[in-house]
Amino acid sequence: MKKHEFQTEVSDLLNLMIHSLYSNKEIFLRELISNSSDALDKLNYLYLTDEKYKTLNYTPRIDIKLDKTNKTLIIEDNGIGMDEDELVLNLGTIARSGTKGFLSQISKDAKKDSNLIGQFGVGFYSAFMVADKIEVLSKKALSDEANLWISDAKSFSVEKSSKQSNGTSIKLYLKDDEFLNEFTIQNIIKKYSNHIPYPIFMDKEEYVSSKDDNKTPKTEIKNTQINNASALWQMQKSSLKDSDYNEFYKQISHDSTDPLMHIHTKAEGKIEYTTLFYIPSIQPFDLYRADYQSGVKLYVKRVFITDDEKELLPTFLRFVRGIIDIEDLPLNVSREILQENRVMASVKDASVKKILSELEKILKNDREKYIKFYKLFGKVLKEGLYGFNAHKDEILNLVLFKTSKREDFITLKEYKDGMKKDQKEIYYISGKSYEALKNSPILEILKDKDIEVLICDDDIDAIILPMIFEYDKTPIKPASEAEFSEEKIDQKEYENVILKLKEILKNDVKDVRVTSRLKESIACLVYDKNDPNFETQQILKQMGQENLPEILPILEINPNHKIATKLLNNEENLDDLAKIILNIAKIQEGLEVKNPNEFAKILTNLITQLA
C-alpha cells in the first residue's frame, strides 16, 4: 500500500467542501455518472476502432448499488478504467480546467462558493460532500491488474487489489441517510443523467401483478434500468421539452444554470448530421483564456470522438456548447483528417451559418434576450470581424453599438436608417471610457450637425473597426476623419504661432493645426489617417509589439475660442499656455498627463495671478 498526499489545491478544495454547508449536494451523482459515461465513451471508441479491444465482451452500462446496512452507495461502470498511475494523477491532483476555474473564483464565502460548486461541478471531489470515505476500485481495459484507491479526504492510498472485469467501481461511505433511498437516487438520475447514452441500472422494489385480485399486491426486488439512455440529440424535436434540453445542457456543460437558448438541427441532405448547440446564460470562466476548453463534442454515428478539438467551431463562437454528430465520417478520424476533411468543413460552415442566423432571429424577435446574449458574448462575436472571415457580413448584422444620441444598443442597420439625408459615412469613436468618448471634443462638430456617432469602448473595438471599412456599401470612418467642406478655415493668421507651438510641444505632438471641428473646446488630439491611435498602440504593445515607437497625435486648436486669440497675442507665456492647452485636450480624452507636477505648478501660478 502506498500513501499519498493530495496536491495542495485539492486539499483546499476538499476542506471547503467538507466544512461548508451546501444546498445542492446531489450534484455529486451527476459528476460521478458523467465520469462513468466518459469512461464508457472512451472504451466504446477503442472497441470500435482498435482490433485489440475486440476480444472484450463489451456492453456498456452503469450500475448503482445501495447498501442500507453498511450505509454505502456504489457507482460502477465497465468503461476504460484506470491503472495505478492514473488513479494517483486523476484523483490526487487537479488537471481539468473546470475545477481550476472553480478554484480561481472561490471567495471563501461559503454561500457564494456553494453556488459555484453547482456551476462548475468540481467533478470527482464533489463526492466528499456526501461521503467521509471513498474507495475507488479500478481495472484498466485489457490489463490484468486492479488497484484500490482509498481516501478519507485528508490523504489517500493506493494498493493492489482484484476485480473481475474492467472498469471502475466507486464506493461512497455516506455521511447520512439522505441518499440511501432508491426513490431519491432515481429522481436525481432522471433529473441530471436521463439522456447520457448508456443505461443505468439499480435494484428497485417493484409491484408484481398477481392473478388473484383479492390478494394485497406483492413486491419484489428487480434490477431495473432507471434512465432513458438515448442520445437526446437524436430524438425528435417534437418529443422534447425545454426542460429536457436544459437538463441535457447541464450534463454536458459543467454549468448548472439554464442556457439562454438551444439550436437543434437535423440535416438530411447530401451530408447527414445532427447538431445540438447551446448558448450559455453565464460567461464560462475561461472565455478569454488562451487555453479555453472547447465546449463542443464531436460524435460520429453516436460514438463519442473528441471534445478536445478547438476547431469544431471558429473561435468567435467559442462560447457555444453542444454536440456535432456526423453520419458520414470514419470512426477513426484523426486530428489531421478532421482538419482537412470536406464533410467536416461543410458541417462546420453550415453550423456557423445556422448559429448566426438563429441569433439574428432572436435579435429581430426578442430584443431583450438578444441584449442579454450580447452583453455576455458580444465581444467574442466581434472577434469574427478581425481580418478575413467568410461570415463577416452576417456578423456585421449582429453587432450592437452605443451611440452619441441613443442610450440603448443599436445595430448598424438602425444607425443607417437614422442617418441624415446628406450623410454619406458611418462615424465611430473608439477608446476606453464611454463617458470620455461621448464627451470627446472630436464629436463637437458632429453633434452640432446632429450626426450620430458610434461610441466604441470595448478593448477590441480599436482593432476591429478599422478593419470593417464599410457596412452595406456605406463607408465606416473614425469621427476624427469626418470632413465638412464648407468649413475650411484660413490657417495663415496662425502660421507664426503654430510654428512656435510645434517647437514647444515637439516631444508631445506630431503637428499642430487649426480646426473647424471644435465648437466649445479649445483643443483636441487626433491621429494621422494612417497612424494607429492611442488605444490601438496600447493593444499592439499588449500583443507583444513592445518596441513599437510611440506615434504622436496631432494637436488641433479651435480658432473661435477665446484662448485662441490669447495665443495670437501672447508672446511671454506661450510656453505655459501651450502646455495647458495640450493637457486639457489630454484630460478630456481621459489620457494621462505626462508631467503632472509641472502642470500643477503652471496652473497654480496662473490661479495665483488671477486671485
Residue numbers at the binding site for Mg ion (CB under 5 A):
35, 123
Query: What are the residue ranges of helices labelled H in 408-464?
Result: 412-417, 434-438, 444-448, 461-464
31 is in an annotated binding site: yes
Part in contact with ligand ADP (CB under 6 A); list of ranges 76-84, 111-119, 319-327, 602-610: 76-84
DSSP output for 571-597 = STTHHHHHHHHHHHHHHHTTPPPS-HH
- Residue 168 contacts ligand ADP per CB under 6 A: yes
Given the complex with ligand ADP, which of 124 and 471 has the nearer CB atom? Answer: 124
- Residue 82 contacts ligand ADP per CB under 6 A: yes
**What is the rounded CA–CA span in Å between residue 87 and residue 136?**
9
The residue within the footprint of ligand ADP, chosen from 22, 30, 36, 284 (CB under 6 A), is 36
570 is in an annotated binding site: no
| CA count, 13 A, side-chain hemisphere, 321 | 24
Contacted entry of ligand ADP, Mg ion, none for residue 79, CB cut-off 5 to 8 Å set by kind: ligand ADP
CB of 297 to Mg ion, least distance (A): 13
186 is in an annotated binding site: no
Q: Which amino acid is at 225?
A: Q
Contacts of residue 513, Cβ cutoff 8 Å, sequence gap at least 6:
491, 498, 554, 555, 556, 557
Contacted entry of Mg ion, ligand ADP, none for residue 141, CB cut-off 5 to 8 Å set by kind: none
- Residue 39 contacts ligand ADP per CB under 6 A: yes
Given the complex with ligand ADP, which of 124 and 427 has the nearer CB atom? Answer: 124
Strand pairing category for 474-478 and 426-430: parallel
The residue within the footprint of ligand ADP, chosen from 96, 500, 502, 566 (CB under 6 A), is 96
**Which residue's C-alpha cell is 485489440?**
52
CB of 91 to ligand ADP, least distance (A): 6
Q: What is the largest CA-CA distance in the chain?
A: 118
**What is the rounded CA–CA span in Å between residue 314 and residue 296?**
11
Helix axes 27-49, 182-193, angle to 10 degrees: 60
90 is in an annotated binding site: yes
Given the complex with Mg ion, which of 31 and 452 has the nearer CB atom? Answer: 31
Contacted entry of Mg ion, ligand ADP, none for residue 168, CB cut-off 5 to 8 Å set by kind: ligand ADP
**Which residue's C-alpha cell is 504622436?**
552
**What is the rounded CA–CA span in Å between residue 207 and residue 64?**
20
- Residue 123 contacts ligand ADP per CB under 6 A: yes
344 is in an annotated binding site: no
- With 0-12 / 13-18 / 19 or more C-beta atoms within 10 angstroms meaning exposed / middle / buried, residue 193 is buried
Query: What are the residue ranges of helices labelled H in 106-181?
Result: 110-120
97 is in an annotated binding site: yes
Size of the site for ligand ADP (CB under 6 A): 17
368 is in an annotated binding site: no
- Residue 383 contacts ligand ADP per CB under 6 A: no
335 is in an annotated binding site: yes
The residue within the footprint of ligand ADP, chosen from 77, 309, 461, 576 (CB under 6 A), is 77
- Residue 124 contacts ligand ADP per CB under 6 A: yes
- Residue 80 contacts ligand ADP per CB under 6 A: yes
CB of 32 to Mg ion, least distance (A): 8
Residues 463 and 514 sit within 8 Å (Cβ to Cβ): no
For 94, 360, 378, 450, the CA distances from 400, given in Å and listed in that order, are 39, 12, 8, 21
Given the complex with ligand ADP, which of 38 and 272 has the nearer CB atom? Answer: 38
- With 0-12 / 13-18 / 19 or more C-beta atoms within 10 angstroms meaning exposed / middle / buried, residue 334 is exposed
> Phi then psi for 288, rounded to 5 degrees?
-105, 15
Given the complex with ligand ADP, which of 168 and 430 has the nearer CB atom? Answer: 168
Part in contact with ligand ADP (CB under 6 A); list of ranges 29-37, 415-423, 434-442, 552-560: 29-37
Binding site for ligand ADP (CB under 6 A): 31, 35-36, 38-39, 77, 79-82, 90-91, 96, 98, 123-124, 168
Annotated binding-site residue numbers for ATP: 31, 35, 77, 82, 90, 97-98, 119-124, 168, 335
